[in-house]
Amino acid sequence: MFIDALLEVSNAQAFGAGAVSTSSIDLGVPGGLAPAGGTKVNRQIGTGEPLGFGIGITTAGTVADSVVDIISTTDAALTAGLIVHATYTIKLAAALLGALFFAPLPQGTPTQRFLGIRITTAGGTISATAWLTTHSMFSLVPVSYAKAYLVD
Protein backbone atom coordinates (compact mmCIF):
# COMPACT_ATOMS: atom_id res chain seq x y z
CA MET A 1 0.00 0.00 0.00
CA PHE A 2 1.31 3.43 -0.97
CA ILE A 3 0.32 6.70 0.66
CA ASP A 4 1.04 9.87 -1.32
CA ALA A 5 1.62 12.75 1.12
CA LEU A 6 -0.04 15.19 -1.32
CA LEU A 7 -3.24 13.13 -1.25
CA GLU A 8 -3.38 12.85 2.55
CA VAL A 9 -6.25 14.88 4.02
CA SER A 10 -5.92 13.85 7.70
CA ASN A 11 -2.90 12.72 9.69
CA ALA A 12 -3.82 11.17 13.07
CA GLN A 13 -6.61 13.75 13.31
CA ALA A 14 -9.11 13.59 16.17
CA PHE A 15 -12.72 13.61 14.98
CA GLY A 16 -15.82 14.22 17.07
CA ALA A 17 -19.15 15.75 16.15
CA GLY A 18 -18.91 16.38 12.41
CA ALA A 19 -15.28 17.44 11.98
CA VAL A 20 -13.90 17.86 8.45
CA SER A 21 -10.41 16.81 7.41
CA THR A 22 -7.59 19.26 8.16
CA SER A 23 -6.55 19.32 4.50
CA SER A 24 -8.38 19.16 1.19
CA ILE A 25 -7.45 18.14 -2.33
CA ASP A 26 -7.68 20.97 -4.88
CA LEU A 27 -9.12 19.58 -8.12
CA GLY A 28 -8.72 22.78 -10.10
CA VAL A 29 -10.43 26.00 -11.07
CA PRO A 30 -14.23 25.77 -11.51
CA GLY A 31 -15.26 25.37 -15.14
CA GLY A 32 -11.99 23.78 -16.15
CA LEU A 33 -10.20 27.05 -16.95
CA ALA A 34 -6.57 26.73 -17.95
CA PRO A 35 -4.03 28.59 -15.79
CA ALA A 36 -1.57 30.81 -17.67
CA GLY A 37 0.65 28.55 -19.74
CA GLY A 38 -1.02 25.43 -18.35
CA THR A 39 -3.42 22.80 -19.53
CA LYS A 40 -7.16 22.75 -19.02
CA VAL A 41 -8.20 21.21 -15.70
CA ASN A 42 -10.64 18.31 -15.93
CA ARG A 43 -12.39 17.14 -12.77
CA GLN A 44 -13.43 13.71 -13.98
CA ILE A 45 -11.32 11.80 -11.52
CA GLY A 46 -12.08 8.14 -10.94
CA THR A 47 -13.80 7.52 -14.27
CA GLY A 48 -11.31 4.75 -15.03
CA GLU A 49 -9.64 3.31 -11.94
CA PRO A 50 -11.98 3.26 -8.90
CA LEU A 51 -10.91 5.80 -6.27
CA GLY A 52 -11.73 6.27 -2.63
CA PHE A 53 -10.31 7.24 0.72
CA GLY A 54 -8.13 4.89 2.69
CA ILE A 55 -8.77 5.36 6.39
CA GLY A 56 -6.43 4.14 9.11
CA ILE A 57 -7.56 4.29 12.74
CA THR A 58 -4.89 5.89 14.96
CA THR A 59 -6.96 6.06 18.17
CA ALA A 60 -9.86 3.64 18.65
CA GLY A 61 -13.46 4.84 18.68
CA THR A 62 -14.74 5.50 22.19
CA VAL A 63 -18.54 5.55 22.30
CA ALA A 64 -20.44 4.92 19.06
CA ASP A 65 -20.20 4.12 15.35
CA SER A 66 -18.39 6.67 13.18
CA VAL A 67 -19.85 7.94 9.90
CA VAL A 68 -17.40 8.92 7.16
CA ASP A 69 -18.69 11.27 4.46
CA ILE A 70 -16.75 11.93 1.26
CA ILE A 71 -17.40 15.59 0.56
CA SER A 72 -16.63 18.32 -1.95
CA THR A 73 -16.89 22.05 -1.35
CA THR A 74 -16.15 25.39 -2.98
CA ASP A 75 -13.49 26.36 -0.40
CA ALA A 76 -10.25 24.75 0.81
CA ALA A 77 -11.45 24.72 4.45
CA LEU A 78 -14.28 22.33 3.41
CA THR A 79 -17.06 24.51 4.79
CA ALA A 80 -18.81 26.32 1.89
CA GLY A 81 -21.29 24.65 -0.45
CA LEU A 82 -20.72 21.22 1.04
CA ILE A 83 -21.98 18.23 -0.98
CA VAL A 84 -21.85 14.66 0.38
CA HIS A 85 -20.97 12.17 -2.37
CA ALA A 86 -20.79 8.96 -0.34
CA THR A 87 -21.26 7.76 3.23
CA TYR A 88 -19.45 4.89 4.94
CA THR A 89 -20.10 3.66 8.50
CA ILE A 90 -17.34 2.31 10.72
CA LYS A 91 -18.88 0.17 13.46
CA LEU A 92 -17.57 0.82 16.97
CA ALA A 93 -16.50 -2.82 17.39
CA ALA A 94 -14.34 -2.53 14.24
CA ALA A 95 -12.88 0.92 15.02
CA LEU A 96 -9.74 -0.46 16.66
CA LEU A 97 -6.22 0.96 16.65
CA GLY A 98 -4.54 0.04 13.36
CA ALA A 99 -7.75 -0.97 11.56
CA LEU A 100 -7.92 0.00 7.88
CA PHE A 101 -11.01 0.84 5.83
CA PHE A 102 -11.66 1.86 2.22
CA ALA A 103 -14.49 4.33 1.53
CA PRO A 104 -15.21 4.26 -2.25
CA LEU A 105 -15.82 7.44 -4.22
CA PRO A 106 -18.71 7.05 -6.69
CA GLN A 107 -17.69 7.44 -10.33
CA GLY A 108 -18.46 10.82 -11.85
CA THR A 109 -17.88 12.70 -8.60
CA PRO A 110 -16.82 15.10 -7.17
CA THR A 111 -18.58 18.06 -8.69
CA GLN A 112 -16.83 20.86 -6.82
CA ARG A 113 -13.26 22.11 -6.56
CA PHE A 114 -12.14 20.81 -3.14
CA LEU A 115 -12.37 17.19 -1.98
CA GLY A 116 -12.09 15.86 1.57
CA ILE A 117 -13.83 13.87 4.27
CA ARG A 118 -16.01 14.51 7.30
CA ILE A 119 -16.21 12.06 10.19
CA THR A 120 -19.09 12.23 12.66
CA THR A 121 -19.48 10.22 15.85
CA ALA A 122 -22.69 9.96 17.88
CA GLY A 123 -20.60 10.56 20.97
CA GLY A 124 -16.96 10.30 21.94
CA THR A 125 -14.07 10.60 19.51
CA ILE A 126 -11.98 8.68 17.03
CA SER A 127 -8.62 9.57 15.45
CA ALA A 128 -7.74 8.65 11.90
CA THR A 129 -5.40 9.20 8.98
CA ALA A 130 -7.11 9.46 5.59
CA TRP A 131 -5.78 9.67 2.04
CA LEU A 132 -7.14 9.49 -1.51
CA THR A 133 -6.02 6.35 -3.31
CA THR A 134 -7.00 3.91 -6.02
CA HIS A 135 -8.78 0.79 -4.87
CA SER A 136 -6.11 -1.44 -6.41
CA MET A 137 -3.36 0.24 -4.34
CA PHE A 138 -5.21 -0.17 -1.04
CA SER A 139 -4.58 -3.22 1.11
CA LEU A 140 -6.44 -4.17 4.28
CA VAL A 141 -3.58 -6.27 5.61
CA PRO A 142 0.00 -5.02 5.39
CA VAL A 143 2.34 -7.86 4.42
CA SER A 144 5.98 -8.15 5.49
CA TYR A 145 8.20 -10.17 3.20
CA ALA A 146 11.35 -12.02 4.23
CA LYS A 147 14.67 -10.63 3.06
CA ALA A 148 15.86 -12.33 -0.12
CA TYR A 149 19.47 -12.83 0.78
CA LEU A 150 21.57 -15.35 2.70
CA VAL A 151 23.91 -14.48 5.56
CA ASP A 152 27.02 -16.62 6.09
Report how many helices (DSSP H) and strands (DSSP E) the chain contains, helices first: 0, 9
Question: In terms of C-beta density within 10 A (0-12 exposed, 13-18 middle, 19 or more buried), how is residue 113 classed?
Answer: buried
Q: What is the pLDDT of residue 37?
A: 54
Task: Note the pLDDT tens digit of each residue in 124-139.
Answer: 889 999 999 988 888 7
Number of residues assigned to the chain: 152
- In 10 A of CB 34, how many CB atoms? 11
Side chain identity, residue 64 = A
DSSP one-letter code for 53: E
Is residue 26 within 8 A of residue 113, CB to CB? The reply is: yes
Q: What is the pLDDT of residue 136?
A: 85
Q: What CATH number has the domain spanning 6-28+46-136?
A: 2.60.120.1110
Side chain identity, residue 106 = P
Is residue 41 within 8 A of residue 28, CB to CB? The reply is: yes
Residue spans of the chain under pLDDT 50: none
